[in-house]
Amino acid sequence: MAHAPTKEFASFAEFYPFYLNEHRDRTCRRLHFVGSTIALCCLAALVVTGNAWWLLAGLVSGYAFAWVGHFGFEKNRPATFRHPFYSFAGDWVMYADIWRGRIPF
C-alpha cells in the first residue's frame, strides 16, 4: 500500500486534483458514491425521526464504503487520515461531479 509523505495544500482547489488522483479506480469511486448516497439517506432519516443514531449510521456507512474502496481496490491509504477536512469536502465535490457526469461512474 502506498504511503506518500504528507503534503500541505494551500487551498481546496490545490488539494482536489490530488484527491482525484487518489480515486482513479472506478470501483473505489463507485463505493464512495454508494456510501455517500447511504449517508444522505441516513441524514434524511435523522431529520424525519429526530433520532441521532442516524448521524452515526451515516458517518459509518460513508466511511466504511470509502475505506473498502481504498484498501480493497485502490490499494492506497485514504486521504482522510492525512487531510480530514479537505478529504471530507472532496468526497462531496466528487459525488456532485459524478452526478454531473464530469467523472466517470
C-alpha cell at 27: 470501483
C-alpha cell at 90: 472532496
Q: Which residues neighbour 64 within 8 Å (Cβ) at sequence distance 6 or greater?
A: 35
Name the maximum alpha-carbon separation found in the chain. Answer: 43
- d(C-alpha 54, C-alpha 94), whole Å: 23
pLDDT of 5: 57
Per-residue pLDDT of the chain in tens (105 residues, 90 and over written 9): 555 556 789 999 999 999 999 999 999 999 999 999 999 999 999 999 999 999 999 999 999 999 999 999 999 999 999 999 999 999 999 999 999 999 999
Q: What angle do CA 76, 38, 93 make, to 5 degrees?
A: 60
Q: By C-alpha distance, which of 66, 82, 65 is closest to 23? A: 66
The answer to whether the beta carbons of residues 94 and 20 sit under 8 Å apart is: yes
- Global model pTM greater than 0.85: yes
